[in-house]
Amino acid sequence: MPLLHVDHMTHWFGGLRAVHDYNLAIEPGQVRGLIGPNGAGKTTVFNLITGRYKPTEGHIALAGTDITGLPSHKIAAMGLGRTFQNLRLWRHMTVLEHVKMARYSKITYGLVGAFFGTPKRNREEAEIEERAHALLELMGIQHSADQIVTNLPYGAQRRVELARALATDPKILFLDEPTAGMNPEELGQMMEIIRQVHKELGLAIFLIEHRMRVVMDLCQVIQTLVFGEVIAEGTPEEIRGNPRVIDAYLGKEVMA
Amino acid sequence: MSIGTLKVWWAKLREQLSRAPLLGWLAGALVAVTLELSVGTPLARALGMAKIPVLFGFDLALKQPQIFPSALLYVLLIYVLPVAAVAWLTARPANLLAGDLLRRSTAISALLHLALLYAILHLWTGISDYRVLVVRLMLIAVMLTLSLNVVNGYMGEFSCSHPGFMAIGAYTASVFSVGLFVAGGQLGAGLLSPALGPFLFPLGLILAGIMAAIGALVVAIPSFRTRGDYLAIISLAFMFIAKSLFENLEVVGGARGLAGQPDWANLPTVFVWTVVCIWTINNFVRSTLGKALNAVRDGELAAVAMTVDTRRTKMVAFLFAAFWAGVAGGLFAHVLRYVNPGTFDLKKLAEMLAMVYFGGLNSVVGSIVGAVGYNLLSEALRPLELYKWIIIPLLLILVMIFRPTGLIAFREFDVQKVLQPRRPPPVTAKLSLEE
């Protein structure tokens, strides 16, 4: 049984069909890529699966449970972590607080603990903090734990987002253009981090990417989306050689 | 003496004084209020005043400007110099003691500081009834400001219904106390013995808070489905509904109001409730569950993706804030021992918003400073009567221009840091540098 299963998903924005008959099956530990030209509907696919939009038709199952139409925070708590194309960090919070926040659904001390500062709350907050520090160390940003996140350089902010997503204990990680806006050096570091996260935590990863180098390097299977429809699916070699993909998307780059 | 040397002296003085921990300052304040008790009146007479300036001269600034300088001199002699001297002289033992207490237990240290603070307030207010009234109203204002800050600051929504919650609390607590314990009052014969009253009063206040929270539910259910300005509009409507509801409820006196509340909201009661309010709210906003408010405010999409239940988070915070507004309302009614619907109008709302935005958004200390500062200013401007309402908004506009988020915004109130000794002895200082 696949970890994530999307079955004949279609979505309409009013009269516009953004996604049409989309199918997906991701196995545990697999790294998947989703490519396609601008406006193809890649982020919409992400938003549909993560519960931001409810698909017009079709079903989504995570680890065998139907999650179609569930609120986003429940889907996230069930093990679907994500990062965003444009960083969505909380501008008044420190790096550590970001990572701690992702444990929200796992907190058991409840309102009594929150209001009265019970020993249970202190214990639990300390545990969360310890885990958060460990994740920051994995990302190599432990030294900026107490900094307000907006004071960090761009590459570090991306890592905070990734650390935060990992703190939700995901079974599968959705990365929306994880290397967007990065310089070559940051790009190399980010790819290394993604590889490391995949190896050490054994996560399944589903990523949207514009840079062919990144997708071809990281992914085992790649889907190509054009106008909301999957026109090709296969290994990096197959995708690279597929004439329809070259036509729709890679054409200019390969020719150049 | 040139300005340069003055500056050096000033810097040295500040450096010296920054070594005193909170404990030292409190000890200084205790000495100052004792001093005032013993020599305050003769000193005031000697300086040409009829009596002790009750509110640091704030109340005199406009009423009797000719004696304002002597009031300032009095403040310098009775408060500023003794407090600074004691804080400076006791810096070393106070630091040792503060460190020792904190090592034992934060709770014990905090309780001791609070006891000291209460003793100071008790002695200070012992001189005049006016002081007792001002301090109690100030503490209630702190509760209101802080609870409103949870919604308007931490949650980042704009709620206008706080006077309404306060009204619900004021009336609930009043009906509780007048109805149950006052025989021959506006609400008929009392059912229970008045002797029980003071012990059951906390129950009445909790009830007041709960009723206010139920009122908040009425606002929250329709307005949290949507985003943006809806909460502001719905909550404003709620405030007016609450006001006209009490105006038309003849059972509780209608527009004439309800009088005869027993004198249960004395200084220790109000002090304890304020401390509990600050403590729980500070606990809440510093916990990860409470910080979720900031996450929802600064990026709801990301918050949701990080498993935050936005609806629950907002609901809890809103009801919690309303609860404390209700408790504050109940205390307010028992401080004035009279309540009428006209009190809970736009002017009250404007005052609360002014205190929140003046003090600083997203900050417990800011709310305390805002409420205390505003109340002192308000007392100073009292002789201006209606013109007060021109000056206070003007000040608010200035704050908005120069410090858009308020005086002390976005700061955490870390009790441990406040109580800790200021500067460790030199040896440890060296060690910490090497780390």
A82 in contact with B, Cβ within 8 Å: yes
Q: Given a cut of 70, is residue A250 above it in pLDDT?
A: no
User: Which strands form A229-234's sheet, in the order they lie side by side?
Assistant: A80-82, A172-176, A204-208, A31-35, A221-226, A229-234
From chain A, the residues in CB contact with B279 under 8 A are: 117
> Which phi and psi (to 5°) does residue A221 adopt?
-130, 140
Give me the residue from B304, B309, B410 closest to A92, CB to CB. Answer: B410
Quote the mean pLDDT of chain B: 89
First to last CA, chain A: 42
CB contact under 8 A, A125 and B287: yes
pLDDT in tens, A176-219: 999 888 888 889 999 999 999 999 888 999 999 888 888 999 99
CB contact under 8 A, B316 and A111: yes
pLDDT in tens, B78-105: 999 999 999 999 988 898 899 889 888 8
A115 in contact with B, Cβ within 8 Å: yes
User: Left, alpha or beta for B56 (phi > 0: left; psi -120 to 50: alpha)?
Assistant: left
Whole-number percent of chain A with pLDDT over 90: 77
Question: How many other C-beta atoms are found inside a 10 Å radius of the C-beta of residue B175?
Answer: 21
Compare all CA atoms of chain B with the CA of A79 and give the residue at the minimum distance. B307
Quote the mean pLDDT of chain A: 91
CB contact under 8 A, B309 and A104: yes
CB contact under 8 A, A81 and B284: no
Q: Which of A50, A72, A84 to mutate to test the interface with B (most CBs of B within 10 A)?
A: A72
The residue ranges of every structural domain in chain A are: 26-55+66-79+170-256, 85-153
pLDDT in tens, B379-425: 888 888 788 888 888 888 888 898 888 889 888 888 888 888 886 54
pLDDT for res B240: 94
Q: Which of B284, B286, B291, B307 to mutate to test the interface with A (most CBs of A within 10 A)?
A: B307
From chain B, the residues in CB contact with A128 under 8 A are: 288
Q: How confident is the model at residue B29 (pLDDT cuts 50, 70, 90)?
A: very high
Q: Which residue has the higher pLDDT, B363 or B63?
A: B363
Q: Nearest 10 degrees: CA dihedral of B286, B288, B291, B293?
A: -130
Q: Given a cut of 70, is residue A173 above it in pLDDT?
A: yes
A120 in contact with B, Cβ within 8 Å: no
From chain A, the residues in CB contact with B309 under 8 A are: 71, 73, 104-105
pLDDT for res B428: 45
Query: Rounded CA gap, B153 and B122, in Å?
Result: 32
Partners of residue A57 on adjacent β-strands: A10
pLDDT for res A157: 93
CB contact under 8 A, A73 and B301: no
Within 13 Å, how many C-alpha atoms sit on residue B31's CB side? 19
Query: Rounded CA gap, B368 and B103, in Å?
Result: 27
CB contact under 8 A, B308 and A73: yes
CB contact under 8 A, A82 and B305: yes
Q: How confident is the model at residue B435 (pLDDT cuts 50, 70, 90)?
A: very low
The answer to whether domain A26-55+66-79+170-256 has CATH 3.40.50.300 is yes
Instruction: Work out the minimum CA distance from B139 to partner chain A, whole angstroms.
Output: 20
CB contact under 8 A, B306 and A117: no
Structural tokens at position A178? 């994880």
Query: Rounded CA gap, B87 and A183, in Å?
Result: 55
Mean pLDDT over residues A113-137, rounded? Answer: 95
User: Of the given ranges (A21-35, A107-121, B63-77, B162-176), which has the lowest mean pLDDT?
Assistant: B63-77
pLDDT for res A249: 66
Q: Given a cut of 80, is residue B313 above it in pLDDT?
A: yes
